[in-house]
Chains A and B, each alone.
Chain A
Amino acid sequence: MSVSFLDRLGETATRKLAARSSRRGVLGRMSAAMALAPAFPLLPVSRADAASAPAPAATLSDFERRAQSKDATKCNYWRHCAIDGVLCGCCGGGVHTCPPGTEPSPVSWIGTCRNPADGRSYVIAYRDCCGRDICATSKDCHCNTADREMPIYRPQASNDIIWCFGTASTAYHCSTAAIVGQAS
């Protein structure tokens, strides 16, 4: 049986390779390649990609740069990024509870605030507490912030409105800021 040209070429190449290399040498080079491979994604391509991501600090509003997550009775508490009114936490209520003798309005307006503690944004429902005259408390509890607020001609995004509507009394007392969920 005659041997084809391709068979002879293959045999010659295989014998030359076997004569020049040892099995240990092959195993050594393969091991080195496997050990080094994971390092390549960490080299410049990866760093260049990371460098192109926007710096989050550059997009923060003035309020967000000064916001804190410790004291909910201060205007710079992170949930208060768009609140116009007196903080219920200063009036016997809480950041999301109405003081005794008042009732929450069933309607509210909704904003989005960034929590500096985790860098995430949350949907906040600002709801007024109604039924008593405006809360008499420290001026430090009278807040007026406006992140992502719109003029009053877009009332659903304006905090210049007293939301005491659908309650037994339309008298405004204070405002709360309840978290609805994490913004995506």
Chain B
Amino acid sequence: MVRFPLLPVLGVLCALGLSVLPRSAPASGAMPVVPVVQGHYLVGCGGCHGVQGRSGRRVVPDLAGQVGYFLCTPQGRDYLVRLPNVAFANLSSQDLADMVNFVVFTFGRDSVPAGARPYTAVEIARLRADPLRIADLHGYRDRVVRGVIGACPQARELHDYDTAQAGREAGHDAP
């Protein structure tokens, strides 16, 4: 077995943007059937962000009850799709639009601002063609989040992850 520690490999790839411990299904009885769009989420994102969009907000940003806040600003809306692991997803733009809408509107729930419109395949295609190309992705996220909180003050819990990340970078926190 040759494996590599997660932190150096993932860096900021997995842990930004789009968290519940994956829970095992009951060993007996009816097994839940995972719909296709949720399957795309699980295989592409669910390992880090959790089966239900939650895995530990200080390590990986929560999606459940939070991800919708990003739609409070145009920059936040674009950010969700321009994240490298989203933009480079091995999915068509239509399938990616369906998956992002599932994440934002199902996991996001009450965090989605009133009147927010779903992503279209055309919008997804445009945004993924311009993925984020910056080394300081954490810094960029922090600025995006500040803008989001300015527009939607109730989104301030988004900063929990940024605070924890800053602590890790300063060596004040566990990995």
Contact = CB atoms under 8 A, between A and B. Distances in A.
Given A154-B90, A162-B5, A179-B25, A109 B59 contact: no
A123 interface: yes
B32 to A, nearest CB: 4
Contacts of A125: 22, 24, 46-47, 51
Given A110-B46, A157-B43, A180-B22, A165 B3 contact: no
Contacts of B114: none
Interface string B139-171: 000000000000000000000000000000000
Q: What's the interface size class on A, roughly?
A: 35 or more
B43 A112 contact: yes
B163 to A, nearest CB: 15
B74 to A, nearest CB: 27
A79 B45 CA distance: 20
Interface of B: 1-7, 9-10, 13-14, 19, 21-25, 31-36, 39, 42-48, 50-51, 55-56, 58-60, 85, 90, 174-175
A182 B9 contact: no
A106 B55 contact: yes
A166 B175 contact: yes
A142 B3 CA distance: 13
Contacts of B34: 123, 180-184
A165 B7 contact: yes
A161 B43 contact: no
Interface string A22-58: 0000000000000000000000000000000000000
**Chain B interface helix/strand/loop/mixed:** loop
A168 interface: yes
B33 A184 contact: yes
A112 B36 CA distance: 12
Given A123-B43, A154-B90, A160-B4, A168 B25 contact: no
10 contacts: A106-B21, A106-B55, A107-B59, A110-B42, A125-B51, A156-B45, A165-B6, A170-B175, A179-B31, A181-B31
A26 to B, nearest CB: 51
A96 B13 contact: no
Contacts of A111: 43
Given A156-B14, A162-B4, A180-B34, A108 B90 contact: no
B24 A161 contact: no
Given A109-B47, A184-B36, 9 more contacts: A107-B6, A125-B51, A150-B90, A154-B90, A156-B85, A161-B6, A163-B47, A170-B175, A182-B31
Contacts of A110: 22, 42-43, 46-47
A84 interface: yes
A184 B90 CA distance: 18
B52 to A, nearest CB: 10
A91 interface: no
A142 B45 contact: no
A123 B6 contact: no
Contacts of B48: 107-108, 156
Among B3, B7, B34, which residue has the most Cβ atoms of chain A within 10 A? B3
